Structure 1
Amino acid sequence: MGPWLSNLLILAAFCYECRGEDSVIQPPGDVIATEGEQVTLGCQFDADDTINLYLFWYKLELNGFPKFTLGRFPFGSKNATEFKDRFKARLDADTKQFPLKIQKLQLSDSAWYYCALRPTVTTGYTASL
């Protein structure tokens, strides 16, 4: 494996369908970039009510649980602390776009990313079974 490969990032986005009429669509395929670059992951949504939108981005690492990255709501927005500085998403209700922009890529950013309407991940029962 060449040294260039250690600086290669592979980011994957996959589609997540939400409630009946509301949905999100992400472009298929992987996004490949190098450390230090900036990438934008697309997210187009279809919702009847574009005023009361609750949109989210999640990060899913191999063998991990989805991590809340950021959300945009009618009353404001929230970024998870570890994603606050480099992860940004601007909601455009007119074009129905909610792209995620990741700046200054790091190897630890390699993961699957997905956007969603409404909360889709909650803290649940955590005891061992």
Structure 2
Amino acid sequence: IKNLLLSRHVSLCWGQDRVEQPLGEMTAIKGDLVTLQCSFSATTTNAYLYWYKQLPNRSPTFILSEFTIGKGTTEDEFKERFYATLDSTSRTVPLTIKNLHVSDSAVYYCCETAETHINTDLQLRAETTLTHT
């Protein structure tokens, strides 16, 4: 059985808007279900939240998007095991990964923007680093 270590920390804030993840660490076992927390505070009516995965020395890979108004999308390669639901009341968009693989070790970014385009410079982000031990 392989263990995975999850470390979470707060990252960038911008004005009154922010995204953050709780401080701390979590150890998970291969095959487990893990949930990466992300909370946001947006000043716009419709916030656009994104999750990205970044492997060492690689560019971030888009996982999925969730919107307070409308429906987001999930990239095909992540549809089977990765999902998120945006809760506009609690202002959270946790990312759940089921059947955890060692290859899921990466930095995970939770991002928020008021723009609708994925290629827009993302103003806010928080990150979660998932590594195996």
Task: Calculate the TM-score normalised by the size of structure 2.
Answer: 0.77
Identity score, percent: 41
- Between Structure 1 and Structure 2, whose CA radius of gyration is higher? 1
2:10 and 2:51 map into 1 onto residues whose CA distance is 12
Instruction: Tell me the CA shift for residue 48 of structure 1.
Output: 2.0
Instruction: Tell me the CA shift for residue 15 of structure 1.
Output: 3.2
Instruction: Tell me the CA shift for residue 110 of structure 1.
Output: 0.8
Q: CA RMSD in A?
A: 2.2
Rate the CA distance shift 1:106–1:58 in 2: closer, same or farther, 3 A: same
* Cross-structure match for 1:28: 23
Alignment length, in residue pairs?
Answer: 117
Find the partner of 2:92 among 92, 97, 106: 97
More helix by share: 1
Q: Deviations over 1:96-121 (max 9, x none)?
A: 11111110101110111120102697
* Cross-structure match for 1:57: 51
Instruction: Tell me the CA shift for residue 53 of structure 1.
Output: 1.1
Instruction: Tell me the CA shift for residue 42 of structure 1.
Output: 0.6
- Secondary structure (helix, strand or coil) at the match of 1:75 reads coil
Find the partner of 2:101 among 106, 120, 124: 106
1:100 and 1:18 map into 2 onto residues whose CA distance is 20
Task: Calculate the TM-score normalised by the size of structure 1.
Answer: 0.79
More strand by share: 2
